[in-house]
Every structure is written in C-alpha cells, then in structure tokens.
Structure 1
Amino acid sequence: MKTAITLCRVHEAAAGPFVFHDDLATGFRKAAEHGFDAVELFLPAPDAVPMGDIKALQDEHGLAVAAVGSGAGMVRHGLSLTDPSPDKRAAALEFIASMIDFGGQLGAPVILGSMQGKHGGEVSRDQALAWLTEALREAGARAAEHDVPFIYEPLNRYETNLFNHAAAATDYLIAEDLGNIVLLADLFHMAIEERDIAASLKAMGSKLGHVHWADSNRQAMGLGHTAYEPIFAALSELAYDGYLSAEVFPQPDADTAAAQTIQSIRALRP
C-alpha cells in the first residue's frame, strides 16, 4: 500500500478536510519531507496550474499524483450530475471530463464525490440514478482513454442520499455493468454508515480503488476512535495495493496531521 496526502488550492474549500492549503511548491515539498509517496490534488479547474509546473514538482520531489478531486465543480460552480437542469448536468459532465483529461496526463484517476448530487423535490431516486449511471458510463469510458479508472465515492447520509454504504454501491456498479469504475472507501464516511468497516471493505473486493485514510472525527488516523488495525488487516487480505490518502482536517495543524498519518500507517506495516 502506498501513501498520499491532500493538497487543496480551491479557495471555497479553505475550511475543508484537506491537509495542505499552501501553494503547490510548498505542498509538494512538505509531502516529500513527511515521507509520502504521492499527493492528491484538489484544484479549482484543469487549467489552474500549468501541467509543466506540476510535472516539474513531481520530478523534484519524487512524488506521484494519486488522484485528482472534482469537488470544485460543486463548491465553486454549484454543479452536480443529478441537477434537475439539463444545462447544469451537461456542464457538470463537461467539467468532470476536463478533469479526467487533466488527471490522465499525470496518470491519475479523478474522484467523483460531492458532484454526484442527490435526489429530492422534482427529481426522483430512479431519475437521479439514471442520470448518475449515464454520467458514470461516460466518465469511465473517458478515463479508459488515459488508461486510468474513474473513482466513485459513496458519501454519508448528510452529503448525499444516492449511495451511503459500500455494499450497495458495489452491487450498483456490478448490476449496471459500469466498466472502469472503482470505489473510494472514505473511512470517515464509513465510520458514520457502516456497521463493520473491515467487513465492508472486503465486500467491495476488486471494486475497491482508493482509500481515504481518515479517523472518525475526520482528523488524522489515530486522533479519533476508529479501530484501524482490523481495517488495515482487511486491506492486506484483499491484497490492496492502492493509496491510503489523508483527506483530513489539518488539526491541530497541517504538519502534525501529516506526521500522525504517516506514523499510523508505518506502525501497521510489517
């Protein structure tokens, strides 16, 4: 398993669960100094930072890009794939496609979290799921052009009412035959929704594609009450070889959160 840490450059998400909010040069440097293998980027748009600058930072610090977040489409532009407006749905898919092309140049998959939206009001659950399925099919095909998967993230009940549980999301991907789509297991969301996180991870099986290594309070692992030893054991049993990425609050400060994350993982490695 590899390690990653979140770097956020979206002003509207300044209070969000991302460890480093510095300029990218500083963020990359700090990620490397703390011993991470990669960074997870949360940027306002695909053209927010020149591609050459990112690749230069990768080369300078020996870091991969684990994944690229798409949430700026929601927090900055108010876009979702299940919006009742056809124009907004089209704009949401266009934004995600542009992020997929951006991430593809870095060999990194894109994550769909908040931009999935929700059902309610004039939008029934069946209709919302139909729109989501259509969008995921297109996103999976677009990502395949770059030889990377597309990552779908089940969220807790306070953020979406589409899929909150790992088993339901896994069954959905299989039933809809959604190729090149994998799931993100965010341990903070799972601490709210799952009865047994380790068992839920095992149920995801080959659909598990990314892990947000976060404690129950969305702080660095070990600063809440999640029992993370059986979770790591379940990931090892699955032979999971992806990233454990710290999408957590920078509390009590960013460097402490980064150090605690690395320590919690290293303590479990044989």
Structure 2
Amino acid sequence: MKLCYQVATPDVSIVPSVTAFQGKLSHSFGRLGELGYDGVELMTLNPLELNWDEVRKEAEKNRLDVVLVCTGEIFGQKKLSFMDKNAEVRQNARARVKEIIDFASYLGAYINIGRVRGQYTDELPKEVSYGYAIDAFKDISEYAGKKEVKIALETVTIMQTNFINTVEEAVKVIKDVDNEYFRLMMDIFHLNIEEKDMFETIKNYAEYNIHVHLADNNRRYPGHCGLNFEKIIKAFKEVGYDGAFCTEIFQIPDQESAAIGAVEHLRPIFNKIYG
C-alpha cells in the first residue's frame, strides 16, 4: 500500500482547476517527501518537454515512488480526445497518450485514461463514437503491453462527460477491449456521485481495479467534508487491494494546506487498517 499525492509536471499550466501540487519538481517532491507521502502520481501534458532522468532522480532522492502518470490535462488544456469528430484530433490524442506511456514505462508507472476518452455528441451517432473509443483503447493497450505499462480506465461523473460514468459501464468497455493491460481505477469522488452503493461497487468489481483516487465529497482533501475514509479504506483492504491510493483534489485553500490536511487525516487511517 502506498499513500500518494498528485503532482503537476512543469509543462502543465498553473491554473486553479489543476488538482495537483504545482511548481518545480524539486520543491514538490521535496515537500511531499517531508510530509511522509510514499509516492506521487504525475499529471503531465507533454512529456517530451521534460528531462526524464531528472524526474526519476528527483523522486528517488525524496524516497517517492512514481505510481501513475495522469493524462487528464491532454483534454483539459489541449482538448484532445479519442472521440472527437476530427480524425486529426483523434490521432493526436493517441500519439500524445503513447508518449505518456513511454514516459510511464521509463518511470515504472501506470497511466490512467480519464477525460481524454472523449464523450458522445449530437454530431456523430453513438455507435460511431463508441467505435472510435474502443479502437483507440485497443491501440494504446497493445502499445502499452509492449512497454509493460498498465492502463487504468477511470469512471467520471456525468457532470464532466457522458461516456463511462459508472464502474459497470467501465467494465463493459474493459471486456470489449479485451487486453490484460487495460484495467480499471476507482475514484472515490466519482463513485460517491454515480454509484448507488459505493461499497458494493468496490466489492463487486475489485478484480478489475488497479488504482484508487481519493478526495472528499466536495473534491477537497480527505477529512475536509463528509466522507468516511476509514470505512472506505477498510472496504479496499477487505477485497485484497494493496496498491496505490492517490489524492486528486483541488488545492484549497492552498496546496501546502491541502497536502498537510490530506496526510494528517489519511496516514492514521492507513496505519490502523494496513499496519
């Protein structure tokens, strides 16, 4: 089990909507290491702009494992997706994700697929859009398999996309892709909104899950609002999950306070449940 915090690499624009620690990696990694985190999840936009060796050495220096590279800002800041009506946009989305797969492979990490998958629109029939997505998922999964990188498909609330909102929907897609490197991740913020019973979902689909995002029900740091994280973490422990738990939260009131608040709330819970 690893308790991790999301970190934006320097190629990501610094904006309030980014759910990650931002700034120079030497500061981000150094501070999170001091606070007692076990690892980081990187949010990146263009990995070819980064010095990969420096990223790895900085993480190692601060005793942090890089567990996953997040693709969210490919859509958030570049509007690239697998279901766009424009073939060039779809191809650019695949190319950028493959660059991130290369980066993740170098770091020994997974990647996730969130908003870059795209969404249904009135401009295309649903079956056409779905076909675009499945073709892209198969393509990147085959590529990732050659690099020994697992892909974690994230369910996302209907407020952000109309494609793959529930874990049941995600598992159908995973079965249609039919590649051992294409799996599931569970984000507690989205599960709390979209699932009838979050705990039944964790239990029923545990075999597909390879990564977990943590945030309170207002997308702020765990312990800030209403979710019972001891019950949530215990549910994952009971189904045998022993992977990474990573925050994906708004940096409110600021990233220093959010990082401190998260670790102070979560570390005692993990110590109690996982030992």
TM over 0.5: yes
Q: 2:171 corresponds to which residue?
A: 170
3-state SS of paired residue (2:68): strand
Q: Give the stretch that moved more between structures: 252-261 or 154-163.
A: 252-261
Query: Which string of whole-angstrom CA distances, capped at 9 and with x for unpartnered residues, describes residues 217-262 of structure 1?
Result: 0001111211222211210012111111011011222222112222
Q: 2:82 corresponds to which residue?
A: 81
Alpha-carbon distance in structure 1 between the residues aligned to 2:14 and 2:241: 30
- Residue correspondences, number: 270
Asked if the contact 2:81/2:89 (under 8 Å) is kept, the reply is yes
Query: Which string of whole-angstrom CA distances, capped at 9 and with x for unpartnered residues, describes residues 195-215 of structure 1?
Result: 221111112222111111111
Deviation of 1:24 (Å) = 0.8
Q: 2:206 corresponds to which residue?
A: 205
Deviation of 1:175 (Å) = 4.3
Q: 1:2 corresponds to which residue?
A: 2
TM-score w.r.t. length of structure 2: 0.93
Q: Which amino acid aligns with 1:199?
A: E
Asked if the contact 1:69/1:111 (under 8 Å) is kept, the reply is yes
Q: Give the stretch that moved more between structures: 6-15 or 19-28.
A: 6-15
Q: 2:26 corresponds to which residue?
A: 25
3-state SS of paired residue (2:85): coil
* Map 1:120-269 → 2, pairs under 5 A: 120-269=121-270
Alpha-carbon distance in structure 2 between the residues aligned to 1:93 and 1:143: 12
Deviation of 1:10 (Å) = 4.9
Asked if the contact 1:45/1:72 (under 8 Å) is kept, the reply is no
Structure 2: state its 5+ residue gaps: none
Q: 1:107 corresponds to which residue?
A: 108
Asked if the contact 2:36/2:263 (under 8 Å) is kept, the reply is yes
Asked if the contact 1:103/1:110 (under 8 Å) is kept, the reply is yes
Deviation of 1:13 (Å) = 5.6
Q: Which amino acid aligns with 1:189?
A: H
Alpha-carbon distance in structure 2 between the residues aligned to 1:66 and 1:76: 23
Query: Which string of whole-angstrom CA distances, capped at 9 and with x for unpartnered residues, describes residues 106-140 of structure 1?
Result: 01111111111101112222222211111111211
Asked if the contact 2:16/2:251 (under 8 Å) is kept, the reply is no
3-state SS of paired residue (2:138): helix
Alpha-carbon distance in structure 1 between the residues aligned to 2:183 and 2:150: 7
Asked if the contact 2:101/2:149 (under 8 Å) is kept, the reply is no
Is 2:44 the partner of 1:52?
A: no
Alpha-carbon distance in structure 1 between the residues aligned to 2:245 and 2:58: 21
Query: Which string of whole-angstrom CA distances, capped at 9 and with x for unpartnered residues, describes residues 162-211 of structure 1?
Result: 11111221233124423311212111111211122111111222211111
3-state SS of paired residue (1:142): helix
Asked if the contact 1:116/1:132 (under 8 Å) is kept, the reply is yes
TM-score w.r.t. length of structure 1: 0.94
| TM-aligned CA distance change 1:222 to 1:17, over 3 Å | farther
Percent identity for Structure 1 against Structure 2: 26
3-state SS of paired residue (1:147): coil
Asked if the contact 1:28/1:61 (under 8 Å) is kept, the reply is yes
Alpha-carbon distance in structure 2 between the residues aligned to 1:229 and 1:118: 34
Deviation of 1:62 (Å) = 1.2
